[in-house]
């Protein structure tokens, strides 16, 4: 005879362990809510670890030569992140690596008089400064460089250490969900619950609120309970990765004639210390439908054009196809702000941060909904060890460059080999 399912009840059950779910779980736990994150893959393994890590203050959205809704919506975000990175904000990020405390905007050609006067105007003061030739980054310190160069006071963070940091802060609260033995239901009162099949005894997970932060998985989760709102849009990209032999880290946008960057470069390290440039921007948008070989040829052509003094011989190349998941916008436009919505008739909220940068804003919106709906932390605490007897903990995923260029040996093996070599030399 099968036993009645056992039930575990949380204040918040968050489905999707990217930066949005993890950040919200951090905030909610600090506010006293009992919270669990349910992830079907690896933590951060969707868009988050594939991101370029740029925490931008909006200047990227001013390339038409004026402030826009998007530029103003995120103007304050770098300050918010900086406080968290110092351990003084609403989420403790002091284990997150800062890759750069600024990034560059450069143009090989004339920027156009409208954008040039805009960047020189009072409105942008303190957010963007022209770079004196003596202060150029090493990649652009070459006699052949004769473009315009600006420095933006924005941040670049290492997304892998961010995910690991957020997960560490809520250790024991992130679980791996296997949908082949899990069902999502909605009862007659509109209350969602998860049912996990188990040979001995099934488990029901209930919560005051379910929250979907599953990126492109949100639409599928909504479909499981017969809903199609809020609607989602996907913007496909194909990023390019170059493993090269230069010691130059660089973070910046190269401007072209469009109002979005022609090329965005961020720099990352493999566990063995080798250097990877990760290329996005228009290249990745236009490249979304190209064959990988064709896009790599285009990327190589772009780099040879823009930084011809750099020798790319012996570089290794790879691409990553990925989609940005966002709330549906008229004309598939880019949304300006983080998006959070309550779903009518259900104990459910759904969100897309739309940008890594805007994740703090998404969490604020969600916590405000909880306050308005009088969802308070309950005094009964759920049995986390019991839940773990049903579900393994979710682990942090790998970066796209680690997957594309797998190290010949792990960092631990490389270290062990180094010790062995020095022991042999001493003998």
Ligand X SMILES: Cc1cc2nc3c(=O)[nH]c(=O)nc-3n(C[C@H](O)[C@H](O)[C@H](O)COP(=O)(O)OP(=O)(O)OC[C@H]3O[C@@H](n4cnc5c(N)ncnc54)[C@H](O)[C@@H]3O)c2cc1C
Query: Could you list the residues that contact ligand X (CB under 6 A)?
Result: 15-21, 38-41, 45-48, 50-54, 177, 213-215, 217, 220-221, 237, 239, 280, 322, 324, 352-357
- Cβ proximity to ligand X: between 63 and 214 the closer is 214
Q: Provide, rounded to whole angstroms, the least separation between the CB of residue 398 and ligand X.
A: 12
- Cβ proximity to ligand X: between 33 and 352 the closer is 352
- Cβ proximity to ligand X: between 192 and 322 the closer is 322
- Cβ proximity to ligand X: between 41 and 112 the closer is 41
Spatial CB neighbours of 343, under 8 Å, sequence gap ≥ 6:
222, 227, 229, 230, 349, 350
**CA-derived radius of gyration, the chain:** 23
- Cβ proximity to ligand X: between 173 and 324 the closer is 324
Q: Are 74 and 176 in contact (CB under 8 A)?
A: no
195 DSSP β-pair partners: 183, 204
Element (H, E) at 29: helix 19-30
The β-bridge relationship of strands 98-100 and 103-107 is unpaired
129 DSSP β-pair partners: 151
Q: Provide, rounded to whole angstroms, the least separation between the CB of residue 105 and ligand X.
A: 14
Q: Provide, rounded to whole angstroms, the least separation between the CB of residue 390 and ligand X.
A: 15
Q: Provide, rounded to whole angstroms, the least separation between the CB of residue 36 and ligand X.
A: 12
Q: Provide, rounded to whole angstroms, the least separation between the CB of residue 355 and ligand X.
A: 3
Considering Cα of 325, then 396, then 26, then 16, what sign does the dihedral take?
positive
Q: Provide, rounded to whole angstroms, the least separation between the CB of residue 206 and ligand X.
A: 17
Residue 293 tokens read as: 């070989």
Q: Provide, rounded to whole angstroms, the least separation between the CB of residue 420 and ligand X.
A: 38
Q: Provide, rounded to whole angstroms, the least separation between the CB of residue 425 and ligand X.
A: 44
Measured in whole angstroms, how far is the alpha carbon of residue 181 from the centre of its chain? 28
Rounded Cα distance between 14 and 214, Å, is: 9
Q: Provide, rounded to whole angstroms, the least separation between the CB of residue 255 and ligand X.
A: 16
- Cβ proximity to ligand X: between 161 and 239 the closer is 239
Burial pattern 356-389, b for ≥16 Cβ within 10 A else e, equals bbbbbbbbbbbbebbeeeebebeeeebeeeebee
- Cβ proximity to ligand X: between 220 and 345 the closer is 220
Spatial CB neighbours of 221, under 8 Å, sequence gap ≥ 6:
15, 184, 212, 214
- Cβ proximity to ligand X: between 29 and 116 the closer is 29
- Cβ proximity to ligand X: between 58 and 137 the closer is 58
Which of 165, 408, 155 shows the shortest CA–CA distance to 270? 408
Which of 358, 361, 366, 364 shows the shortest CA–CA distance to 340? 366
Rounded Cα distance between 93 and 55, Å, is: 14
């Amino acid at each position: 005879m099968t036993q009645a399912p056992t039930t575990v009840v949380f204040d918040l059950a968050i489905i999707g362990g990217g930066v949005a779910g993890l950040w919200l779980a951090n905030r909610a736990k600090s506010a006293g809510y009992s919270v669990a994150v349910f992830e079907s893959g690896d933590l951060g393994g969707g868009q988050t670890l594939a991101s370029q890590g740029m925490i931008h203050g909006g200047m990227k959205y001013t390339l038409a030569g004026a402030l826009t809704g998007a530029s103003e919506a995120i103007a304050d975000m770098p300050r918010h992140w900086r406080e968290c990175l110092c351990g003084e904000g609403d989420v403790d990020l002091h284990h997150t690596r800062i890759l750069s405390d600024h990034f560059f905007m450069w143009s090989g050609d004339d920027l156009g008089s409208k954008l040039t006067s805009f960047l020189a105007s009072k409105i942008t003061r303190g957010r963007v400064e022209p770079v004196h030739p003596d202060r150029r980054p090493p990649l652009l310190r070459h006699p052949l460089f004769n473009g315009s160069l600006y420095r933006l006071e924005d941040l670049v963070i290492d997304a892998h250490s961010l995910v690991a940091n957020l997960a560490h802060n809520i250790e024991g609260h992130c679980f791996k969900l296997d949908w082949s033995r899990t069902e999502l239901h909605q009862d007659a009162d509109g209350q969602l619950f998860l049912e996990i099949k188990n040979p001995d005894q099934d488990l029901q997970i209930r919560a005051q609120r379910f929250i979907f932060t599953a990126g492109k998985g949100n639409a599928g989760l909504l479909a499981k309970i017969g809903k199609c709102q809020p609607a989602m849009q996907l913007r496909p990209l194909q990023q390019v990765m170059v493993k090269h032999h230069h010691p130059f880290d660089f973070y910046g946008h190269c401007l072209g004639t469009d109002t979005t960057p022609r090329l965005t470069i961020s720099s990352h390290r493999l566990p063995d210390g080798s250097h990877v440039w990760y290329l996005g921007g228009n290249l990745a948008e236009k490249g979304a439908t190209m064959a990988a070989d064709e896009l790599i040829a285009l990327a190589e052509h772009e780099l040879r054009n823009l930084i011809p003094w750099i020798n790319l011989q012996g570089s290794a190349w790879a691409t990553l196809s990925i989609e940005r998941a966002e709330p549906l916008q008229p004309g598939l436009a880019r949304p300006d702000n983080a998006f959070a919505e309550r779903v009518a008739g259900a104990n459910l909220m759904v969100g897309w941060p739309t940008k890594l940068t805007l994740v703090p804003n998404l969490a604020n919106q969600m916590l405000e909904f909880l306050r308005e709906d009088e969802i308070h932390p309950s005094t009964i605490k759920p049995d986390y060890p019991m839940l773990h007897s049903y579900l393994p903990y979710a682990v942090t995923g790998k970066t796209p460059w680690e997957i594309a260029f797998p190290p010949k040996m792990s960092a631990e093996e490389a270290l062990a080999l180094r010790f062995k070599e020095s022991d042999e030399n001493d003998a």
